């Protein structure tokens, strides 16, 4: 899966370093800010499905086959299967929601929102559909609409850690880092092994200039997920902001190594360029 870039920030050592947040889930999307140009990653997830039947005939069969194709990168095949499931059962809310995820993954936010609307129309208490529609609205720059959807998801399911994390991202993107930190706190309280939420809370601390607490959060994210490339990168940025070039370069080198292992040449090269700048 592609990993998305946050934006460039100027640090106290005068170098522009990549600041990023990303997920360990299957799919990612960026949430763009308006004025401060931060970009944060929200997350959506697809549960690993059972192997589809060899001869699908029922709506549920096509739904499972759609999930299977989606996770294997066959977006158009997944859309076709979810559409067959919906044609066989027009009240199949989960199929609308899942097709929305595929549209979202391919960048068609309008069709994604239309499918989430259908899922919510079928089941007004579909917390996942509200959360996913919030992601799509956030990706369109509709931060207020996104927060309203995350609020609904949380109202329906107060233990929805992902919705708290996503609402935190939306708040942070609008400059409300205190509110974002409260949401990340809640996400972490619900799921103490939520590496993404630790990383995102670290980003909020970083945005406040609180580099030490940012480093503590990145430490936690890395402890939970030792291969979390963005957390190494972000911790490196925090060390750079403190003027500690040695630790900053060490972390950026780790981040670059992980991006290279993931065959993400674009981010690998950007981090390597930043290492070069820091070393000057």
pLDDT of residue 12 exceeding 70: no
d(CA 148, CA 143): 9
| Confidence (pLDDT) at 186 | 98
Surface-to-core class of residue 62, CB atoms within 10 Å of its CB (0-12 exposed, 13-18 middle, 19+ buried): buried
Domain boundaries defined on the chain? 20-220
Which three-class secondary structure state does DSSP give residue 118?
A: helix
Closest C-alpha to 134, from 147, 121, 125: 147
Q: Give the pLDDT confidence of 145-173 residue by residue, as tens digits.
A: 999 999 999 999 999 999 999 999 999 99
pLDDT on residue 42: 39
Pairwise CA distance, residues 44 & 13, whole Å:
35
pLDDT band with cut points at 50, 70 and 90 for residue 14: very low
The pLDDT value recorded for residue 47 is 57
Collapsing DSSP to helix, strand or coil, 170 comes out as helix
User: 150 vs 14, which has greater pLDDT?
Assistant: 150
pLDDT for 1 beyond 50: no
Residue 98: predicted pLDDT: 97
Question: CA quadruple 18, 31, 132, 187: dihedral positive or negative?
Answer: positive
**Which of 53-62, 229-238, 245-254 has the lowest average pLDDT?**
53-62
Q: Which residues of 26-36 are buried (b: 16+ CB within 10 A; e: fewer)?
A: bbbbbbebeee
Please write the tens of the pLDDT for every residue from 83-94.
999 999 999 999
SS3 40: strand
User: Which superfamily does 20-220 belong to?
Assistant: Tetratricopeptide repeat domain (1.25.40.10)
Residue 15 has pLDDT above 60, yes or no: no
* pTM summary value: 0.83
* CA atoms of 163 and 191, how far apart (whole Å): 12
The yes-or-no verdict on residue 237 having pLDDT over 60 is: yes
CB atoms closer than 10 angstroms to residue 158:
12
**β-bridge mates for residue 31, sequence order:** 40
Which residues of 198-273 form beta strands (DSSP E)?
none
The pLDDT of residue 39? 35
Count of other CB atoms within 10 angstroms of residue 259? 23
Residue 65's SS3 state is helix
Is pLDDT of 205 > 50? yes
Whole-angstrom Cα distance, residue 146 to residue 68? 28
Among positive and negative, which fits the CA dihedral 97, 98, 103, 109? positive
Mean pLDDT, the chain, whole residue set: 85
What's the pLDDT at 264? Answer: 87
Confidence of residue 96 (pLDDT cuts 50, 70, 90): very high
Q: Of all residues in the chain, what percent carry a pLDDT higher than 70?
A: 82
Return the axis-axis angle of helices 93-105 and 75-88, rounded to nearest 10°. 160
pLDDT at 43 over 70: no
């Amino acid at each position: 899966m592609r990993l998305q870039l946050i934006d460039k920030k100027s640090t106290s050592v005068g170098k522009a370093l990549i600041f990023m947040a990303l997920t360990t889930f299957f799919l990612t999307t960026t949430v763009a800010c308006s004025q401060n140009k931060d970009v944060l990653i929200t997350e959506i997830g697809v549960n690993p499905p059972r192997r589809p039947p060899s001869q699908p005939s029922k709506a549920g069969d096509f739904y499972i086959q759609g999930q299977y194709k989606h996770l294997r990168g066959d977006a158009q095949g997944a859309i076709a299967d979810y559409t067959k499931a919906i044609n066989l059962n027009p009240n199949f809310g989960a199929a609308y929601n899942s097709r929305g995820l595929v549209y979202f993954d391919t960048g068609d936010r309008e069709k994604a929102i239309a499918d989430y609307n259908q899922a919510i129309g079928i089941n007004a208490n579909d917390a996942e559909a509200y959360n996913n529609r919030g992601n799509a609205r956030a990706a369109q720059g509709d931060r207020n609409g996104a927060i309203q959807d995350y609020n609904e998801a949380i109202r329906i399911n107060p233990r929805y850690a992902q919705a708290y994390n996503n609402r935190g991202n939306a708040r942070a993107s609008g400059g409300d880092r205190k509110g974002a930190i409260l949401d990340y706190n809640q996400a972490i309280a619900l799921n103490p092994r939520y590496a993404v939420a630790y990383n995102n809370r670290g980003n909020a601390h970083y945005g406040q200039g609180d580099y030490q607490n940012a480093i503590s959060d990145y430490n936690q994210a890395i402890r939970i997920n030792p291969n979390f490339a963005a957390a190494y990168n972000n911790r490196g940025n925090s060390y750079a902001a403190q003027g500690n070039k040695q630790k900053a370069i060490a972390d950026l080198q780790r981040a670059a190594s992980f991006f290279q292992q993931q065959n993400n040449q674009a981010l690998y090269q950007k981090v390597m360029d930043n290492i070069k700048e820091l070393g000057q």
